[in-house]
Every structure is written in C-alpha cells, then in structure tokens.
C-alpha cells in the first residue's frame, strides 16, 4: 500500500505542475522533470520505492521504443526524401563534432564529451510534431522536411541506443559472445520474415476484436522484449524490433494510437525518476556549461540546418523555420545519458547537466517555433547569407505571362493542366527547388521564390496578370498577394485556397475573386456526379476507371494525399 500511496501522490503533483506547463504553452515533459526535482530528496523527499519506479520507467522506455518502431517502416527512408536525409545526417555530423570540441574545451573527458555531444545532436520528434500540428504547419514544405530529418535522427539514435543498451549488463562490447550475436541476428531475421509473410495474414484475425488487438500488441512487444533480454541483450532492443516488425501491418497506425496512452503513463515515471536523480550539490559549476550548451543548441543547431538547406537551394525562410525545429534536445538524449549513468560511464552531475540543457532548450524552442513567423520578419534581412541567390536550372521567363500559379502542389497540378488548355502564357512560382527543377525539365516557365516575400512579388509584373491562383493555404501570405495585386490591378481574377470558412470570408473581404475550400470540394463533386449519372452504374464505373488512371499518374509524381 505504501508504493500505491507514493505513486498516487507523485501523480497528483505531476497533474498540478503539468497544468501550469499547459498554461505556459510548454511541453508536458518539462512538467514531468520538474515534478521529479520537486519530489527528490532535496525538496519533498517523496521517492522511496526507487526500485519499483525504476522498473516502471524501464517499461516506459520499452513502450516508447516499441511505438517508435511502429513508425519506422522500411519504406520510411524513401518517404523522407533526399533533402531530409542529407540535412538529417549533416546536422548529426556537424552538431556532434562541434559539441564534442566544446565539451573538451570545457574540461570534460573524451568519453564524457562523446556522450554529451551525441546527446546534443537529437531533437524531439514527438514535441516538434505536436507544435507543428498546433500551428497547422505539418503540410508546409518546412514541416515536411523537418519531420523527415527528425525521422532520420530517430533511426540513428535507435541504432545507437541498441548498441549502448546491449552492453548495459556487460563491461565492454567485447564481452558479447558470438553466440549471442548470432542468436540476435537470427531472431531479427526470423521476426522480419514473420512480419512480412505471417502477420499480414493474421492481422484480420487480430483486428476482429479491438480489445484482442490491444492485448496482442502488448503481448507481442513485451514477449520480444523478454526474449531479447533472455538472449543477453536489453529488453529495449526487443521492444524496438517488435515495433518494427508490426510496422508493416496494415493496422500499425491503430496499434500505435492504442499503445500511446500506456506508453505515456510509464514514460512519465521515467522523467520523474530522471528529475529526482538530479544532483544539485555542484549546481554552480554546472550553470556555465549548461548555458553554453543551451546557447549552442538554440542558435548553433538552427544555423547548421540553415547552411545545409541553403546549400541545397532552399529559401532562407524554409531553412530558418526548419532550423528552429532542432533547437532543443530529445527525450532520447536523456535516455542515452541515463544508460551512460547505468554503465558507469557518466556520473549524476552529467545527468543533471544534460537535463538542465533539456529544460532550457525544450522550453526555449517551444516559443521559437510557435512564434517563428513573427521572429522571421525581424531577422530575415540578416540571414540572406544562407540563401543561394538563384536556382541554376530555373527556366527563364520572358515576362509576358497573363496567368500565374503560386504553389505547384496537389491542387496546383490540376490547375496547371487547366492553364495549358487556355493556351495562354503562364508562370509557376514555388519555393521548393526540387519542384522547380522538375518543372524546368518539362519546359514549363517557372520561378523559384517565396510568395511571402514582398520584394519578390514586385518582380513579377502583377499588373499585367489576368488570372492569379494561389494554392498556398497560409492566410497572411494570401493577404499579401491580394493586397499587392489589388494595388495595381483591380480587374485581375484572384483565386486562393483556404482551410477554414472564417478565413475564406476574410479573404473575400480582402479582395479575393473566389476562395477554394478543398475540404468541401469532395462533397460538391460527388453531388454533381449523382445529378449527372443518377442511378447509371456504367457511368459511375467509367468515372472509376478515369479516376484510377488519374490517381496512378499522381502517385508516380509522388503526390500522396496529406495526412489529416
């Protein structure tokens, strides 16, 4: 009963502190760590059942890796794209090297410096996805690229954690027996084969009952974790492999959503335990290194990403916003340092140091990402150095275009086809260099630029444009386009996209000729089909064939439908 009362009191305190974090618009992970500090021996001294909480926290880490594994389908590298892979790997290399040198200069040993440098490298995919989702920026170019290189980071850190956790019960890597390695490799191969050929056939049986699917997922994850632990490796590796094996199941999204509440509960105890283990005896000696490392993460990491993306040809705004997403350390950073502590490679002071850096950078980057648009307006003139002046492969435009399309994305594809049928000169503007290069290969007049840049808009001869179409869903960007056009051309037809009814009404009042609401177009299209085809099955089947051909063509172009 004592452990029950202890955990209950700790959870109640966590709820209160997490509530304060919500009011401050901060990630709840900060509240969990602060709870650990509050209940530590230095303050309330409520943590006495350390062994039980440690066990729960390890289960939390296992569930976290299991859920991460569910999202790491073998197809993930292909999906994140070249820019995400280059930026992700480049950021890992440069951040770790610079972090290692800073650590050495601060007087840390080579081993400790390596741990710190690697811990500084990783950013939190969970936190960033939540922040981008709240801003509705997941489908923006910088959002897609950011999630892509964060997934690259996740893959790298998972491999690293597998290596480190494999020696958690040994003194060195050399102590791992050849037989254990062979068993592990054979087990991984076996489970991959099972996941490819066995699980899909059994999925329909598991999915018939939601309760049984949930139970099977827990049994699968913990069962493989126990097996790998029995083979002499860590249960974390087994949990990760279990997740990756299930990632190829058609029900992996549903499994992941059902496992998250369980993961969240146990991982809360990990961060509380982490906070309770912080050492404050030499806090004065940790402040300066913590501030230096935090400054490096908050400023240095974004600069590294901006340099890499600028070299790849992306606009400074895309690089700036993507750079801010790596301005904090990850929950995996704290897990890595905890493993180093359990191995005896690190002491409690280093754990405290990295945790302080985590608190500073996670809280700081939250505000940076939330207000990135406002911050950019103040710094844009100073970061032009990170932007290539022009795209090498941009097809020169002659300046006599009467139609212009801002944003060649999923909607823009169909609009461009309509432009071609009008047999008028047209121009496509996009800030994704890969799209511009592809348009150039097709011989389509295009310009690489950002519609949010007023100076760029002034170069486009908007006065002679008879039709302007913007597929950019950002309200402020569409306001700018409408205002610039209406200043010099009151007769132009201006079509813009909006995600909400309220925004559409504002765009009309601002001067838009017509506002496209993608979410309502589907119902409108179906109603027209019903009116035209009535109950004619053959007409619907003909429509189906045409639609299938259309979808296959879009799939070849990589136009996957955005996730809701």
In a domain, residue 396? The reply is no
Indicate whether 55 and 84 sit together in one domain: yes
pLDDT value for 557:
66
In a domain, residue 286? The reply is yes
446-448 sheet: strands from edge to edge: 446-448, 426-430, 403-406, 467-470, 493-497, 514-516
Q: What percent of the chain has pLDDT over 90?
A: 21
Structural domain boundaries enclosing 434:
403-516
Which band of pLDDT confidence, cut at 50, 70 and 90, is reported for residue 171? very low
CA distance linking residue 77 with residue 148, whole number of Å: 9
Indicate whether 416 and 295 sit together in one domain: no
**240 contacts 69 by C-beta, under 8 angstroms:** yes
Q: Map 451-500 to HEC letters.
A: CCCHHHHHCCCHHHCCEEEECCCCHHHHHHHHHHHHHHCCCCEEEEECCC
pLDDT value for 17:
93
Indicate whether 250 and 343 sit together in one domain: yes
pTM here?
Answer: 0.74
Please determine, for residue 289, whether its predicted confidence score (pLDDT) is greater than 70: yes
Indicate whether 318 and 424 sit together in one domain: no
Indicate whether 111 and 32 sit together in one domain: yes
In a domain, residue 531? The reply is no
The top-scoring range by mean pLDDT among 2-16, 290-304, 522-536 is: 290-304
Please determine, for residue 200, whether its predicted confidence score (pLDDT) is greater than 80: no
Predicted confidence (pLDDT) per residue in 459-469, tens digit = 888 888 899 99
Q: Centre a 10 Å sphere on the Cβ of residue 539 and count the other Cβ atoms it contains.
A: 13
Indicate whether 274 and 417 sit together in one domain: no
Q: Which of 435, 409, 453, 437 is nearest to 320 (CA)?
A: 453
**252 contacts 245 by C-beta, under 8 angstroms:** no
pLDDT value for 173:
44
pLDDT value for 393:
41
Which band of pLDDT confidence, cut at 50, 70 and 90, is reported for residue 201? low
**322 contacts 83 by C-beta, under 8 angstroms:** no
Predicted confidence (pLDDT) per residue in 45-66, tens digit = 888 888 888 888 888 888 888 8
Domain count, the chain: 2
Indicate whether 330 and 420 sit together in one domain: no
In a domain, residue 544? The reply is no
Does 331 or 304 have the greater pLDDT score? 304
In a domain, residue 192? The reply is yes
Q: Which of 448, 496, 452 is nearest to 470 (CA)?
A: 496
Indicate whether 26 and 118 sit together in one domain: yes
Does 237 or 512 have the greater pLDDT score? 512
The CATH code of the domain that includes 448 is: 3.40.50.720
The CATH code of the domain that includes 235 is: 1.20.1530.20
What average pLDDT does range 261-281 have in this prediction? 83
Which band of pLDDT confidence, cut at 50, 70 and 90, is reported for residue 481? very high
Q: How far is CA 122 from CA 128, 151, 243, 286, 333, in A?
A: 12, 10, 21, 21, 6
Terminal Cα distance for the chain, rounded: 44
Indicate whether 179 and 320 sit together in one domain: yes
CA atoms within 13 Å, Cβ hemisphere of 87: 34
In a domain, residue 523? The reply is no
In a domain, residue 395? The reply is no
Predicted confidence (pLDDT) per residue in 522-546, tens digit = 777 788 888 888 888 888 888 888 8
What average pLDDT does range 211-240 have in this prediction? 81
Token readout for 18 is: 């997490």
Indicate whether 238 and 347 sit together in one domain: yes
What average pLDDT does range 290-297 have in this prediction? 95
Ranking 96-110, 344-358, 365-379, 430-444 by mean pLDDT, the lowest is 430-444
Which of 347, 382, 417 is the last residue before a domain boundary? 382
What average pLDDT does range 356-379 have in this prediction? 90
pLDDT value for 179:
58
What average pLDDT does range 134-149 have in this prediction? 79
**132 contacts 371 by C-beta, under 8 angstroms:** no
For the chain, the residue count is: 564
Indicate whether 364 and 463 sit together in one domain: no
Indicate whether 348 and 485 sit together in one domain: no
How many Å is the maximal CA-CA distance in the chain?
81
In a domain, residue 454? The reply is yes
pLDDT value for 91:
92
Please determine, for residue 482, whether its predicted confidence score (pLDDT) is greater than 90: yes
């Amino acid at each position: 009963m004592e452990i029950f009362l202890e955990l209950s009191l700790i959870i109640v305190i966590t709820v209160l502190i997490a509530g304060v974090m919500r009011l401050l618009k901060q990630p709840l992970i900060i509240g969990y760590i602060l709870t650990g500090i509050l209940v530590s021996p230095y303050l309330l001294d409520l943590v006495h059942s350390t062994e039980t909480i440690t066990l729960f926290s390890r289960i939390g880490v296992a569930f976290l890796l299991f859920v991460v594994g569910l999202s790491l389908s073998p197809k993930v590298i292909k999906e994140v794209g070249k820019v995400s892979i280059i930026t992700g790997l480049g950021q890992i290399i440069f951040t770790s090297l610079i972090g290692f040198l800073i650590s050495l200069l601060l007087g840390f040993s080579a081993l400790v410096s390596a741990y710190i440098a690697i811990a500084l490298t990783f950013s939190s995919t969970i936190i960033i996805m939540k922040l981008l989702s709240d801003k509705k920026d997941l489908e923006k170019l910088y959002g897609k690229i950011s999630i892509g290189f964060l997934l690259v980071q996740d893959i790298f850190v998972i491999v690293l954690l597998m290596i480190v956790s494999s020696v958690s019960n040994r003194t060195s890597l050399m102590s791992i027996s050849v037989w254990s390695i062979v068993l592990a490799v054979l087990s991984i191969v076996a489970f991959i084969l099972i996941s490819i050929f066995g699980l899909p056939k059994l999925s329909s049986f598991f999915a018939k009952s939601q309760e049984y699917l949930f139970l099977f997922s827990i049994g699968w994850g913990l069962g493989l974790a126990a097996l790998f632990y029995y083979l002499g490796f860590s249960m974390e590796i087994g949990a990760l492999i279990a997740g990756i094996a299930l990632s190829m199941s058609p029900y992996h999204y549903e499994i992941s959503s059902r496992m998250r509440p369980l993961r969240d509960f146990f991982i809360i105890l990990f961060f509380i335990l982490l906070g309770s283990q912080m050492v404050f005896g030499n806090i004065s000696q940790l402040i300066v290194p913590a501030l230096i490392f935090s400054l490096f993460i908050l400023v240095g990491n974004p600069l590294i990403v901006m340099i890499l993306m600028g070299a790849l040809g992306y606009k400074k705004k895309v690089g700036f916003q993507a750079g801010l997403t790596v301005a904090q350390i990850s929950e995996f950073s704290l897990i890595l340092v905890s493993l180093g502590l359990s191995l005896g490679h690190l002491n409690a002071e280093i754990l405290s140091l990295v945790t302080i850096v985590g608190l500073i950078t996670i809280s700081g980057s939250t505000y940076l990402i939330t207000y990135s648009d406002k911050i950019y307006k103040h710094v844009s003139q100073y970061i032009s150095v990170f932007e290539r002046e022009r795209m090498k492969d941009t097809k020169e435009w002659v300046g006599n275009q009467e139609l212009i399309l801002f944003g060649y994305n999923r909607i823009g594809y169909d609009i461009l086809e309509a432009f071609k049928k009008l047999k008028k000169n047209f121009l496509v503007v996009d800030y994704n260099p890969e799209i511009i290069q592809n348009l150039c290969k097709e011989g389509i007049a295009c310009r690489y630029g950002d519609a949010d840049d007023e100076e760029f808009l002034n170069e486009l001869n908007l006065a002679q444009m008879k039709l302007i179409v913007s597929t950019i869903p950002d309200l402020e960007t569409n306001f700018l386009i409408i205002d610039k056009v209406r200043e010099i051309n009151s007769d132009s037809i201006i079509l813009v996209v909006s995600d909400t009814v309220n925004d559409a009404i504002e765009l009309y009042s601002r001067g838009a000729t017509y506002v496209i609401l993608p979410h309502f177009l589907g119902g409108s299209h179906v109603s027209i089909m019903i009116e035209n085809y009535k109950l004619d099955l053959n007409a619907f089947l003909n429509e189906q064939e045409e639609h299938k051909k259309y979808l296959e063509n879009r799939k070849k172009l990589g136009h996957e439908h955005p996730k809701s």
